[in-house]
Structure 1
Protein backbone atom coordinates (compact mmCIF):
# COMPACT_ATOMS: atom_id res chain seq x y z
CA UNK A 1 0.00 0.00 0.00
CA UNK A 2 3.02 2.24 -0.03
CA UNK A 3 2.71 4.88 -2.69
CA UNK A 4 5.30 6.99 -4.49
CA UNK A 5 4.48 10.63 -4.96
CA UNK A 6 3.48 13.39 -2.53
CA UNK A 7 6.25 12.19 -0.17
CA UNK A 8 5.56 9.48 2.40
CA UNK A 9 2.41 11.05 3.73
CA UNK A 10 0.68 9.70 0.64
CA UNK A 11 2.37 6.32 0.64
CA UNK A 12 -1.05 5.00 1.40
CA UNK A 13 -1.98 8.15 3.31
CA UNK A 14 -2.00 11.91 3.53
CA UNK A 15 -1.98 14.55 6.19
CA UNK A 16 -5.50 15.92 6.44
CA UNK A 17 -3.86 19.34 6.88
CA UNK A 18 -0.79 20.83 8.52
CA UNK A 19 -0.84 20.13 12.23
CA UNK A 20 -3.47 17.41 11.94
CA UNK A 21 -3.35 13.66 12.15
CA UNK A 22 -2.27 11.27 9.42
CA UNK A 23 -5.21 10.10 7.28
CA UNK A 24 -4.79 7.14 4.96
CA UNK A 25 -6.05 7.25 1.39
CA UNK A 26 -8.15 4.10 1.15
CA UNK A 27 -9.30 4.22 -2.48
CA UNK A 28 -8.17 1.16 -4.43
CA UNK A 29 -8.91 -0.65 -7.68
CA UNK A 30 -11.71 -2.95 -6.61
CA UNK A 31 -11.58 -5.46 -9.48
CA UNK A 32 -11.53 -8.97 -8.05
CA UNK A 33 -10.09 -12.27 -9.28
CA UNK A 34 -12.70 -14.90 -8.51
CA UNK A 35 -13.51 -18.50 -9.30
CA UNK A 36 -16.83 -17.54 -10.90
CA UNK A 37 -16.87 -13.97 -12.27
CA UNK A 38 -20.18 -12.21 -11.71
CA UNK A 39 -22.08 -11.03 -14.79
CA UNK A 40 -21.95 -7.29 -15.34
CA UNK A 41 -18.78 -6.80 -13.27
CA UNK A 42 -15.12 -6.38 -14.18
CA UNK A 43 -14.24 -9.55 -12.23
CA UNK A 44 -11.35 -11.55 -13.64
CA UNK A 45 -11.31 -15.36 -13.56
CA UNK A 46 -8.99 -17.44 -11.39
CA UNK A 47 -6.45 -19.05 -13.71
CA UNK A 48 -2.96 -20.41 -12.90
CA UNK A 49 -0.13 -18.51 -14.60
CA UNK A 50 -2.35 -15.63 -15.70
CA UNK A 51 -1.35 -13.16 -13.00
CA UNK A 52 1.80 -11.61 -11.56
CA UNK A 53 1.81 -10.38 -7.97
CA UNK A 54 4.02 -7.32 -7.56
CA UNK A 55 4.89 -7.00 -3.88
CA UNK A 56 7.90 -5.26 -2.34
CA UNK A 57 9.34 -7.11 0.65
CA UNK A 58 9.98 -3.80 2.39
CA UNK A 59 6.29 -2.84 2.47
CA UNK A 60 4.16 -4.28 5.30
CA UNK A 61 0.96 -4.21 3.25
CA UNK A 62 2.62 -6.05 0.36
CA UNK A 63 4.34 -8.44 2.78
CA UNK A 64 0.91 -9.79 3.72
CA UNK A 65 0.30 -11.05 0.20
CA UNK A 66 3.72 -12.69 0.00
CA UNK A 67 3.09 -14.56 3.26
CA UNK A 68 -0.40 -15.74 2.30
CA UNK A 69 0.83 -16.85 -1.13
CA UNK A 70 3.50 -18.94 0.64
CA UNK A 71 1.20 -20.37 3.32
CA UNK A 72 -1.43 -21.47 0.81
CA UNK A 73 1.05 -22.92 -1.66
CA UNK A 74 0.20 -20.57 -4.53
CA UNK A 75 3.82 -19.94 -5.49
CA UNK A 76 3.57 -22.00 -8.68
CA UNK A 77 0.18 -20.55 -9.56
CA UNK A 78 0.76 -16.80 -9.14
CA UNK A 79 4.22 -15.50 -10.03
CA UNK A 80 5.93 -12.90 -7.84
CA UNK A 81 7.68 -9.69 -8.84
CA UNK A 82 9.72 -7.90 -6.19
CA UNK A 83 10.45 -4.19 -6.56
CA UNK A 84 13.43 -2.82 -4.71
CA UNK A 85 13.09 -1.26 -1.25
CA UNK A 86 13.27 2.33 -2.49
CA UNK A 87 11.45 4.14 -5.25
CA UNK A 88 11.35 7.51 -6.94
CA UNK A 89 8.49 10.01 -6.76
CA UNK A 90 6.89 8.44 -9.82
CA UNK A 91 6.69 4.70 -9.19
CA UNK A 92 7.96 1.57 -7.56
CA UNK A 93 10.79 0.23 -9.71
CA UNK A 94 12.37 -3.19 -10.31
CA UNK A 95 15.85 -2.30 -9.09
CA UNK A 96 16.65 -5.83 -7.95
CA UNK A 97 16.14 -7.44 -11.37
CA UNK A 98 18.79 -7.53 -14.14
CA UNK A 99 18.64 -4.27 -16.06
CA UNK A 100 15.99 -2.99 -13.67
CA UNK A 101 13.30 -4.83 -15.65
CA UNK A 102 10.70 -7.20 -14.22
CA UNK A 103 11.41 -10.50 -16.02
CA UNK A 104 7.75 -11.45 -16.38
CA UNK A 105 6.19 -8.10 -17.29
CA UNK A 106 9.19 -6.58 -19.10
CA UNK A 107 8.72 -3.16 -17.48
CA UNK A 108 10.97 -0.85 -15.47
CA UNK A 109 8.21 0.82 -13.46
CA UNK A 110 5.06 -0.59 -11.92
CA UNK A 111 3.37 2.60 -13.10
CA UNK A 112 3.45 1.20 -16.65
CA UNK A 113 0.96 -1.51 -15.64
CA UNK A 114 -1.36 1.03 -14.03
CA UNK A 115 -1.18 3.34 -17.05
CA UNK A 116 -1.76 0.42 -19.42
CA UNK A 117 -5.21 -0.10 -17.95
CA UNK A 118 -5.95 3.45 -16.79
CA UNK A 119 -4.15 6.05 -18.95
CA UNK A 120 -3.34 9.05 -16.78
CA UNK A 121 -4.02 7.06 -13.60
CA UNK A 122 -4.57 9.81 -11.01
CA UNK A 123 -3.76 8.04 -7.75
CA UNK A 124 -0.59 6.69 -6.19
CA UNK A 125 1.19 3.66 -7.64
CA UNK A 126 0.80 1.19 -4.79
CA UNK A 127 2.03 -2.25 -3.87
CA UNK A 128 0.82 -4.91 -3.67
CA UNK A 129 -0.66 -5.02 -7.13
CA UNK A 130 -1.75 -7.91 -9.32
CA UNK A 131 -1.02 -7.54 -13.02
CA UNK A 132 -2.42 -9.65 -15.84
CA UNK A 133 0.61 -11.02 -17.66
CA UNK A 134 -0.83 -11.21 -21.19
CA UNK A 135 -2.18 -7.66 -21.26
CA UNK A 136 0.32 -6.03 -18.89
CA UNK A 137 -2.58 -4.30 -17.16
CA UNK A 138 -3.01 -3.90 -13.42
CA UNK A 139 -6.03 -5.86 -12.20
CA UNK A 140 -6.25 -4.83 -8.55
CA UNK A 141 -4.31 -3.14 -5.78
CA UNK A 142 -6.95 -3.77 -3.11
CA UNK A 143 -4.57 -5.31 -0.59
CA UNK A 144 -7.19 -6.18 2.03
CA UNK A 145 -9.46 -8.09 -0.38
CA UNK A 146 -6.53 -9.66 -2.21
CA UNK A 147 -5.47 -12.03 0.56
CA UNK A 148 -9.04 -12.97 1.43
CA UNK A 149 -9.54 -13.96 -2.21
CA UNK A 150 -6.33 -15.98 -2.15
CA UNK A 151 -7.94 -17.96 0.69
CA UNK A 152 -11.40 -18.40 -0.80
CA UNK A 153 -11.38 -17.97 -4.59
CA UNK A 154 -8.10 -19.81 -5.26
CA UNK A 155 -8.93 -22.74 -2.95
CA UNK A 156 -8.73 -25.42 -5.66
CA UNK A 157 -5.04 -24.56 -6.10
CA UNK A 158 -4.06 -24.58 -2.43
CA UNK A 159 -1.38 -27.03 -1.38
CA UNK A 160 -2.39 -30.13 0.57
CA UNK A 161 -2.68 -29.23 4.23
CA UNK A 162 -2.85 -25.48 3.61
CA UNK A 163 -4.26 -23.54 6.58
CA UNK A 164 -7.75 -22.08 6.47
CA UNK A 165 -6.79 -18.45 7.00
CA UNK A 166 -10.35 -17.11 6.67
CA UNK A 167 -12.48 -19.80 8.35
CA UNK A 168 -16.17 -19.20 7.78
CA UNK A 169 -17.22 -20.06 11.33
CA UNK A 170 -14.86 -17.44 12.79
CA UNK A 171 -15.44 -14.55 10.39
CA UNK A 172 -17.90 -12.67 12.57
CA UNK A 173 -15.42 -12.80 15.45
CA UNK A 174 -12.39 -12.11 13.27
CA UNK A 175 -13.76 -9.03 11.51
CA UNK A 176 -13.69 -6.66 14.53
CA UNK A 177 -10.31 -8.04 15.66
CA UNK A 178 -8.80 -7.38 12.23
CA UNK A 179 -10.43 -3.96 12.07
CA UNK A 180 -8.91 -2.95 15.40
CA UNK A 181 -5.51 -4.29 14.36
CA UNK A 182 -5.69 -2.26 11.15
CA UNK A 183 -6.86 1.04 12.62
CA UNK A 184 -4.89 0.96 15.87
CA UNK A 185 -1.71 -0.99 15.05
CA UNK A 186 -1.06 -1.39 11.30
CA UNK A 187 -2.11 2.20 10.64
CA UNK A 188 -1.45 3.33 14.20
CA UNK A 189 2.32 3.29 13.81
CA UNK A 190 1.99 5.51 10.73
CA UNK A 191 -0.33 7.82 12.63
CA UNK A 192 2.47 8.26 15.17
CA UNK A 193 5.23 8.65 12.61
CA UNK A 194 3.48 11.21 10.45
CA UNK A 195 1.61 13.17 13.08
CA UNK A 196 1.57 16.83 12.12
CA UNK A 197 1.43 18.22 15.65
CA UNK A 198 2.31 17.29 19.21
CA UNK A 199 -1.38 16.85 20.00
CA UNK A 200 -1.90 14.51 17.05
CA UNK A 201 1.20 12.51 17.99
CA UNK A 202 0.21 12.20 21.66
CA UNK A 203 -3.24 10.93 20.69
CA UNK A 204 -1.83 8.47 18.15
CA UNK A 205 0.77 7.20 20.64
CA UNK A 206 -1.86 6.56 23.33
CA UNK A 207 -4.14 4.75 20.88
CA UNK A 208 -1.30 2.53 19.65
CA UNK A 209 -0.19 1.46 23.10
CA UNK A 210 -3.74 0.85 24.29
CA UNK A 211 -4.04 -1.61 21.41
CA UNK A 212 -0.62 -3.17 22.03
CA UNK A 213 -1.55 -3.79 25.66
CA UNK A 214 -4.86 -5.32 24.54
CA UNK A 215 -2.96 -7.71 22.26
CA UNK A 216 -0.50 -8.62 25.02
CA UNK A 217 -3.45 -9.57 27.20
CA UNK A 218 -5.39 -11.38 24.45
CA UNK A 219 -2.44 -13.55 23.47
CA UNK A 220 -1.55 -14.51 27.04
CA UNK A 221 -3.96 -17.46 27.03
CA UNK A 222 -4.03 -18.48 23.36
CA UNK A 223 -1.29 -19.27 20.86
CA UNK A 224 -2.77 -17.25 17.99
CA UNK A 225 -5.24 -14.40 17.80
CA UNK A 226 -8.22 -16.65 17.10
CA UNK A 227 -7.14 -19.69 19.09
CA UNK A 228 -5.04 -22.70 18.14
CA UNK A 229 -4.63 -22.04 14.41
CA UNK A 230 -3.03 -19.31 12.32
CA UNK A 231 -5.52 -17.09 10.50
CA UNK A 232 -5.52 -13.98 8.34
CA UNK A 233 -5.63 -11.93 11.55
CA UNK A 234 -2.18 -13.21 12.56
CA UNK A 235 -0.72 -12.41 9.14
CA UNK A 236 -2.02 -8.85 9.34
CA UNK A 237 -0.59 -8.27 12.81
CA UNK A 238 2.74 -9.95 12.11
CA UNK A 239 3.83 -7.57 9.35
CA UNK A 240 3.68 -4.65 11.76
CA UNK A 241 5.24 -6.48 14.71
CA UNK A 242 8.20 -7.72 12.66
CA UNK A 243 9.02 -4.11 11.69
CA UNK A 244 8.47 -2.68 15.15
CA UNK A 245 11.92 -2.70 16.71
CA UNK A 246 13.68 -2.32 13.36
CA UNK A 247 11.92 0.89 12.31
CA UNK A 248 8.72 1.89 14.12
CA UNK A 249 10.20 2.18 17.61
CA UNK A 250 12.70 4.86 16.59
CA UNK A 251 11.78 6.13 13.12
CA UNK A 252 8.08 6.52 13.94
CA UNK A 253 8.60 7.44 17.63
CA UNK A 254 6.58 4.44 18.86
CA UNK A 255 8.98 4.21 21.75
CA UNK A 256 7.18 3.45 24.98
CA UNK A 257 9.07 0.18 24.81
CA UNK A 258 10.39 -2.25 22.23
CA UNK A 259 8.45 -5.27 21.09
CA UNK A 260 11.23 -7.38 22.59
CA UNK A 261 10.29 -5.91 25.99
CA UNK A 262 6.70 -7.21 25.79
CA UNK A 263 7.00 -10.87 26.86
CA UNK A 264 3.81 -12.22 25.27
CA UNK A 265 3.84 -10.29 22.00
CA UNK A 266 7.56 -10.88 21.53
CA UNK A 267 7.17 -14.65 21.99
CA UNK A 268 4.10 -14.67 19.71
CA UNK A 269 5.91 -12.73 16.98
CA UNK A 270 8.93 -15.07 17.16
CA UNK A 271 6.59 -18.06 16.97
CA UNK A 272 5.19 -16.73 13.68
CA UNK A 273 8.61 -15.67 12.37
CA UNK A 274 9.87 -19.23 12.82
CA UNK A 275 6.80 -20.73 11.09
CA UNK A 276 7.43 -21.63 7.42
CA UNK A 277 5.95 -18.92 5.21
CA UNK A 278 6.66 -16.02 7.56
CA UNK A 279 10.31 -15.42 8.43
CA UNK A 280 11.71 -16.20 4.99
CA UNK A 281 9.65 -13.35 3.53
CA UNK A 282 11.39 -10.81 5.76
CA UNK A 283 14.42 -8.81 4.68
CA UNK A 284 15.39 -6.44 7.48
CA UNK A 285 17.94 -4.62 5.33
CA UNK A 286 15.29 -3.80 2.73
CA UNK A 287 12.85 -2.77 5.44
CA UNK A 288 15.31 -0.33 7.01
CA UNK A 289 16.40 1.04 3.64
CA UNK A 290 12.81 1.70 2.62
CA UNK A 291 11.76 3.63 5.70
CA UNK A 292 14.96 5.58 6.24
CA UNK A 293 15.75 6.45 2.62
CA UNK A 294 12.28 7.05 1.19
CA UNK A 295 10.93 9.06 4.13
CA UNK A 296 12.95 12.18 3.43
CA UNK A 297 10.60 14.34 5.47
CA UNK A 298 11.44 12.26 8.57
CA UNK A 299 15.07 11.45 7.73
CA UNK A 300 16.33 14.11 5.30
CA UNK A 301 19.92 12.80 5.17
CA UNK A 302 18.78 9.28 4.29
CA UNK A 303 21.13 7.66 6.79
CA UNK A 304 20.20 4.02 7.46
CA UNK A 305 20.97 2.90 11.03
CA UNK A 306 23.12 -0.19 11.48
CA UNK A 307 21.10 -1.40 14.48
CA UNK A 308 19.22 -2.65 16.29
CA UNK A 309 20.40 -6.20 16.94
CA UNK A 310 17.71 -8.38 15.37
CA UNK A 311 19.27 -11.78 16.06
CA UNK A 312 16.66 -12.51 18.74
CA UNK A 313 14.06 -13.42 16.14
CA UNK A 314 15.46 -16.95 15.90
CA UNK A 315 15.63 -17.64 19.65
CA UNK A 316 13.22 -20.17 21.24
CA UNK A 317 9.74 -18.72 21.76
CA UNK A 318 8.17 -21.28 24.08
CA UNK A 319 4.71 -20.94 22.52
CA UNK A 320 4.36 -24.52 21.26
Structure 2
Protein backbone atom coordinates (compact mmCIF):
# COMPACT_ATOMS: atom_id res chain seq x y z
CA UNK A 1 0.00 0.00 0.00
CA UNK A 2 1.33 3.43 -0.92
CA UNK A 3 1.64 6.14 1.69
CA UNK A 4 1.17 9.67 0.38
CA UNK A 5 0.78 13.12 1.85
CA UNK A 6 -2.62 14.35 0.52
CA UNK A 7 -2.29 17.04 -2.11
CA UNK A 8 -4.78 19.21 -0.21
CA UNK A 9 -2.20 19.57 2.55
CA UNK A 10 0.62 20.58 0.19
CA UNK A 11 1.45 23.88 -1.50
CA UNK A 12 0.06 24.05 -5.04
CA UNK A 13 3.53 23.63 -6.56
CA UNK A 14 4.55 20.71 -4.34
CA UNK A 15 4.69 17.10 -5.50
CA UNK A 16 3.46 14.46 -3.02
CA UNK A 17 5.94 11.76 -2.13
CA UNK A 18 4.59 8.25 -2.51
CA UNK A 19 6.26 5.70 -0.27
CA UNK A 20 4.90 2.31 -1.32
CA UNK A 21 7.36 -0.58 -1.05
CA UNK A 22 7.85 -3.86 -2.87
CA UNK A 23 7.48 -6.71 -0.38
CA UNK A 24 8.63 -10.31 -0.31
CA UNK A 25 5.34 -12.06 -1.15
CA UNK A 26 1.67 -11.62 -2.05
CA UNK A 27 0.78 -10.75 1.54
CA UNK A 28 2.64 -7.47 1.15
CA UNK A 29 0.27 -6.07 -1.49
CA UNK A 30 3.03 -4.91 -3.82
CA UNK A 31 5.32 -7.83 -4.53
CA UNK A 32 7.81 -8.63 -7.26
CA UNK A 33 6.02 -9.95 -10.35
CA UNK A 34 7.53 -9.74 -13.84
CA UNK A 35 5.91 -7.07 -16.02
CA UNK A 36 3.59 -5.79 -13.27
CA UNK A 37 5.53 -2.58 -12.64
CA UNK A 38 7.08 0.13 -14.78
CA UNK A 39 9.71 2.77 -14.09
CA UNK A 40 9.36 6.26 -15.56
CA UNK A 41 12.51 8.39 -15.53
CA UNK A 42 13.57 11.83 -16.72
CA UNK A 43 17.05 11.73 -18.33
CA UNK A 44 17.73 15.30 -17.17
CA UNK A 45 17.31 14.41 -13.48
CA UNK A 46 20.43 12.97 -11.74
CA UNK A 47 18.18 11.03 -9.34
CA UNK A 48 16.60 9.31 -12.32
CA UNK A 49 20.05 8.56 -13.75
CA UNK A 50 20.82 6.56 -10.60
CA UNK A 51 17.58 4.59 -11.01
CA UNK A 52 18.20 3.93 -14.71
CA UNK A 53 21.78 2.87 -13.98
CA UNK A 54 20.61 0.45 -11.28
CA UNK A 55 18.02 -0.95 -13.69
CA UNK A 56 20.74 -1.53 -16.32
CA UNK A 57 23.19 -3.13 -13.90
CA UNK A 58 20.50 -5.56 -12.75
CA UNK A 59 19.49 -6.43 -16.33
CA UNK A 60 15.78 -5.75 -15.78
CA UNK A 61 14.66 -4.89 -19.32
CA UNK A 62 12.59 -8.08 -19.62
CA UNK A 63 11.23 -7.95 -16.08
CA UNK A 64 10.48 -4.35 -15.20
CA UNK A 65 10.07 -2.05 -18.23
CA UNK A 66 11.72 1.36 -18.17
CA UNK A 67 10.19 4.39 -19.86
CA UNK A 68 12.62 7.22 -20.56
CA UNK A 69 10.68 10.46 -20.85
CA UNK A 70 11.71 13.48 -22.86
CA UNK A 71 14.47 15.50 -21.24
CA UNK A 72 12.13 18.51 -21.32
CA UNK A 73 8.88 18.41 -19.28
CA UNK A 74 5.86 18.98 -21.51
CA UNK A 75 3.34 20.65 -19.18
CA UNK A 76 3.38 24.27 -17.95
CA UNK A 77 3.89 23.21 -14.33
CA UNK A 78 7.12 21.36 -15.16
CA UNK A 79 5.62 17.86 -15.22
CA UNK A 80 4.80 15.22 -17.82
CA UNK A 81 1.40 14.68 -19.43
CA UNK A 82 2.13 10.94 -19.68
CA UNK A 83 2.41 10.69 -15.89
CA UNK A 84 -0.69 12.75 -15.02
CA UNK A 85 -3.16 9.80 -15.10
CA UNK A 86 -0.95 7.99 -12.57
CA UNK A 87 -0.87 10.98 -10.21
CA UNK A 88 -4.58 11.66 -10.54
CA UNK A 89 -5.39 8.01 -9.83
CA UNK A 90 -3.10 8.01 -6.80
CA UNK A 91 -3.80 11.35 -5.07
CA UNK A 92 -7.37 12.65 -4.73
CA UNK A 93 -7.99 15.90 -6.64
CA UNK A 94 -4.30 16.18 -7.46
CA UNK A 95 -3.40 19.42 -9.27
CA UNK A 96 0.40 19.60 -8.92
CA UNK A 97 3.08 18.67 -11.47
CA UNK A 98 3.31 15.05 -12.60
CA UNK A 99 7.04 14.61 -12.11
CA UNK A 100 9.52 11.74 -12.51
CA UNK A 101 10.76 9.41 -11.18
CA UNK A 102 7.75 7.15 -10.78
CA UNK A 103 7.45 3.44 -10.05
CA UNK A 104 3.95 2.53 -11.20
CA UNK A 105 1.77 -0.56 -10.82
CA UNK A 106 0.19 -1.73 -14.06
CA UNK A 107 -2.41 -3.81 -12.22
CA UNK A 108 -3.92 -0.82 -10.42
CA UNK A 109 -2.85 2.07 -12.66
CA UNK A 110 -1.46 3.85 -9.61
CA UNK A 111 1.89 5.00 -8.29
CA UNK A 112 3.80 2.72 -5.96
CA UNK A 113 6.66 5.10 -5.17
CA UNK A 114 8.33 8.36 -6.14
CA UNK A 115 10.87 8.11 -3.30
CA UNK A 116 14.28 7.54 -4.87
CA UNK A 117 16.07 5.76 -1.96
CA UNK A 118 13.15 3.31 -1.61
CA UNK A 119 13.03 2.65 -5.35
CA UNK A 120 16.78 1.98 -5.49
CA UNK A 121 16.62 -0.35 -2.51
CA UNK A 122 13.61 -2.29 -3.82
CA UNK A 123 15.20 -2.72 -7.25
CA UNK A 124 18.33 -4.19 -5.67
CA UNK A 125 16.53 -6.43 -3.17
CA UNK A 126 13.36 -7.51 -5.01
CA UNK A 127 14.31 -7.39 -8.71
CA UNK A 128 17.92 -8.49 -8.76
CA UNK A 129 17.59 -10.64 -11.89
CA UNK A 130 20.90 -11.80 -13.34
CA UNK A 131 22.78 -8.73 -12.18
CA UNK A 132 25.25 -8.25 -9.31
CA UNK A 133 24.24 -8.08 -5.66
CA UNK A 134 24.15 -4.31 -5.33
CA UNK A 135 23.19 -4.42 -1.66
CA UNK A 136 25.19 -7.26 -0.09
CA UNK A 137 24.18 -7.56 3.53
CA UNK A 138 27.73 -7.09 4.79
CA UNK A 139 27.99 -3.71 3.01
CA UNK A 140 24.55 -2.16 3.53
CA UNK A 141 25.66 0.25 6.23
CA UNK A 142 28.65 1.23 4.11
CA UNK A 143 26.41 1.83 1.07
CA UNK A 144 24.18 4.11 3.16
CA UNK A 145 27.23 5.99 4.42
CA UNK A 146 28.56 6.48 0.88
CA UNK A 147 25.16 7.71 -0.30
CA UNK A 148 25.10 10.26 2.53
CA UNK A 149 28.68 11.32 1.77
CA UNK A 150 27.85 11.88 -1.88
CA UNK A 151 24.73 13.93 -1.19
CA UNK A 152 25.87 16.01 1.78
CA UNK A 153 29.60 16.32 1.34
CA UNK A 154 29.96 16.40 -2.44
CA UNK A 155 26.73 17.55 -4.11
CA UNK A 156 25.55 19.99 -1.46
CA UNK A 157 29.06 21.19 -0.61
CA UNK A 158 29.92 21.81 -4.27
CA UNK A 159 26.67 23.66 -4.81
CA UNK A 160 27.22 25.76 -1.69
CA UNK A 161 30.81 26.52 -2.68
CA UNK A 162 29.64 27.60 -6.12
CA UNK A 163 27.02 29.90 -4.62
CA UNK A 164 29.57 31.55 -2.33
CA UNK A 165 32.61 31.32 -4.58
CA UNK A 166 32.41 34.86 -5.87
CA UNK A 167 31.93 36.36 -2.41
CA UNK A 168 35.47 35.93 -1.19
CA UNK A 169 37.80 33.16 -0.04
CA UNK A 170 36.69 33.10 3.59
CA UNK A 171 33.03 32.70 2.65
CA UNK A 172 33.51 29.51 0.66
CA UNK A 173 36.28 27.94 2.74
CA UNK A 174 34.02 25.63 4.73
CA UNK A 175 32.06 23.98 1.86
CA UNK A 176 35.26 23.45 -0.12
CA UNK A 177 36.91 21.87 2.91
CA UNK A 178 33.97 19.46 3.18
CA UNK A 179 34.09 18.74 -0.55
CA UNK A 180 37.82 17.98 -0.66
CA UNK A 181 37.65 15.81 2.46
CA UNK A 182 34.91 13.73 0.81
CA UNK A 183 36.80 13.42 -2.48
CA UNK A 184 39.92 12.41 -0.56
CA UNK A 185 38.00 9.68 1.23
CA UNK A 186 36.68 8.30 -2.07
CA UNK A 187 40.14 8.58 -3.65
CA UNK A 188 41.65 6.41 -0.90
CA UNK A 189 38.95 3.78 -1.38
CA UNK A 190 39.45 3.62 -5.14
CA UNK A 191 43.22 3.46 -4.81
CA UNK A 192 42.67 0.09 -3.10
CA UNK A 193 40.32 -1.58 -5.56
CA UNK A 194 38.34 -1.25 -8.79
CA UNK A 195 35.07 -0.36 -7.05
CA UNK A 196 34.12 1.74 -4.06
CA UNK A 197 33.58 -1.23 -1.75
CA UNK A 198 35.99 -3.76 -3.19
CA UNK A 199 36.17 -6.02 -6.22
CA UNK A 200 32.53 -5.96 -7.34
CA UNK A 201 30.07 -3.15 -8.10
CA UNK A 202 27.49 -2.25 -5.48
CA UNK A 203 24.90 0.47 -5.02
CA UNK A 204 27.73 2.62 -3.65
CA UNK A 205 29.16 2.80 -7.18
CA UNK A 206 25.81 4.05 -8.49
CA UNK A 207 25.86 6.89 -5.95
CA UNK A 208 29.51 7.79 -6.55
CA UNK A 209 29.43 7.66 -10.34
CA UNK A 210 26.28 9.77 -10.66
CA UNK A 211 27.80 12.25 -8.19
CA UNK A 212 30.98 12.51 -10.28
CA UNK A 213 28.88 13.10 -13.40
CA UNK A 214 27.18 16.02 -11.64
CA UNK A 215 30.46 17.41 -10.32
CA UNK A 216 32.13 17.41 -13.73
CA UNK A 217 29.17 18.52 -15.82
CA UNK A 218 27.12 20.81 -13.55
CA UNK A 219 28.97 22.01 -10.45
CA UNK A 220 32.16 22.89 -12.31
CA UNK A 221 30.34 25.79 -13.96
CA UNK A 222 30.30 27.65 -10.64
CA UNK A 223 33.65 26.65 -9.13
CA UNK A 224 36.76 28.68 -9.79
CA UNK A 225 39.81 27.31 -11.61
CA UNK A 226 41.80 26.80 -8.40
CA UNK A 227 39.01 24.71 -6.90
CA UNK A 228 38.65 22.62 -10.06
CA UNK A 229 42.41 22.04 -10.17
CA UNK A 230 42.10 20.57 -6.67
CA UNK A 231 39.07 18.53 -7.72
CA UNK A 232 41.17 17.14 -10.59
CA UNK A 233 43.91 16.12 -8.16
CA UNK A 234 42.28 12.75 -7.41
CA UNK A 235 43.61 10.49 -10.18
CA UNK A 236 42.09 7.21 -8.96
CA UNK A 237 38.66 8.81 -8.66
CA UNK A 238 38.58 10.25 -12.17
CA UNK A 239 40.16 7.19 -13.77
CA UNK A 240 37.35 5.18 -12.16
CA UNK A 241 34.75 7.61 -13.54
CA UNK A 242 36.21 7.35 -17.07
CA UNK A 243 36.51 3.55 -16.88
CA UNK A 244 32.88 3.10 -15.85
CA UNK A 245 31.72 5.64 -18.45
CA UNK A 246 32.93 3.22 -21.13
CA UNK A 247 30.73 0.39 -19.79
CA UNK A 248 27.37 -0.01 -21.60
CA UNK A 249 25.41 -0.30 -18.34
CA UNK A 250 26.67 3.10 -17.24
CA UNK A 251 26.60 4.76 -20.66
CA UNK A 252 23.16 3.66 -21.70
CA UNK A 253 21.03 6.41 -20.13
CA UNK A 254 23.55 9.18 -19.60
CA UNK A 255 22.37 12.28 -21.48
CA UNK A 256 24.81 15.12 -20.81
CA UNK A 257 22.88 17.57 -22.99
CA UNK A 258 19.70 16.95 -20.99
CA UNK A 259 21.53 17.36 -17.67
CA UNK A 260 23.03 20.66 -18.80
CA UNK A 261 19.72 21.90 -20.19
CA UNK A 262 18.03 21.21 -16.86
CA UNK A 263 20.84 22.96 -15.00
CA UNK A 264 20.71 26.05 -17.20
CA UNK A 265 16.92 26.22 -16.94
CA UNK A 266 16.96 26.28 -13.13
CA UNK A 267 20.30 27.84 -12.21
CA UNK A 268 20.70 31.53 -11.52
CA UNK A 269 24.34 31.39 -10.47
CA UNK A 270 27.24 33.03 -12.25
CA UNK A 271 29.75 31.12 -14.32
CA UNK A 272 33.29 30.84 -12.90
CA UNK A 273 36.65 29.99 -14.47
CA UNK A 274 36.34 26.32 -13.52
CA UNK A 275 33.76 25.90 -16.28
CA UNK A 276 36.63 25.55 -18.75
CA UNK A 277 38.08 22.51 -16.95
CA UNK A 278 36.58 19.17 -18.05
CA UNK A 279 37.84 16.08 -16.21
CA UNK A 280 36.17 13.17 -18.04
CA UNK A 281 35.37 12.58 -21.69
CA UNK A 282 31.72 11.74 -21.19
CA UNK A 283 31.30 11.27 -24.94
CA UNK A 284 32.54 7.74 -24.21
CA UNK A 285 29.25 7.34 -22.38
CA UNK A 286 26.97 8.51 -25.17
CA UNK A 287 23.62 6.65 -25.03
CA UNK A 288 23.70 3.41 -26.96
Matched, 1:265 2:237: yes
Change (3 A) 1:252 1:119: farther
Q: Is the 2:242–2:280 Cα contact (8 Å) retained in structure 1?
A: no
CA distance in 2, matches of 1:46, 1:220: 37
Q: Which residue does 1:291 correspond to in 2?
A: 263
| Counterpart-to-counterpart distance in 1, 2:222 and 2:263 | 8
175 and 311 in structure 1: CA distance in 2 versus 1, 3 angstrom threshold: closer
Which residue of 2 is the match for residue 144 of structure 1? 117
Map of 1:205 onto structure 2: 176
Aligned counterpart, 2:19? 30
Give me the whole-angstrom Cα distance separating, in 2, the residues matched to 1:200 and 1:116.
47
The residue number in structure 2 matching 1:171 is: 140
Asked if structure 2 preserves the Cα contact closer than 8 Å seen for 1:28 and 1:140, the reply is yes
The range that moved more, 272-281 or 143-152, is 272-281
Q: 1:222 maps to which residue?
A: 193
Is the deviation greater in 172-181 or in 63-72?
A: 172-181
TM-aligned CA distance change 1:282 to 1:312, over 3 Å: closer
Residue 186 of structure 1 contacts residue 240 of structure 1 at CA under 8 Å; is this kept in 2? yes
2:144 alignment partner, SS class: helix
Cα pair 1:192 1:205 within 8 Å, conserved: yes
* Aligned equivalents of 1:196, 1:132: Cα separation in 2: 45
* Displaced runs of 4 or more, over 6 A: 252-255
Number of aligned residue pairs: 266
**TM-score for the superposition, normalised by structure 2:** 0.78
RMSD: 3.5
Paired residue secondary structure (1:179): helix
Indicate how the Cα distance of structure 1 residues 190 and 33 shifts in structure 2: closer, same or farther if over 3 A, else same: farther
Q: Deviations over 1:98-119 (max 9, x none)?
A: xxxxxxxxxx243442232112
* More helix, by proportion: 2
Contact 1:35 1:154 in 2 (8 A): no
Residues 35 and 46 of structure 1 are in contact (CA less than 8 Å); yes or no, is this contact kept in structure 2?
yes
Aligned match of 2:49: 63
- Distance apart, 1:213 and its partner CA: 2.0
Q: TM-score, normalised by structure 1?
A: 0.71
Tell me which residue corresponds to 1:90.
Answer: 77
- Distance in 2, matches of 1:222 and 1:121, equals 48
Consecutive unaligned residues of structure 2, counting only runs of 5 or more, are: 1-12
Choose 172-181 or 117-126, whichever is displaced more.
117-126
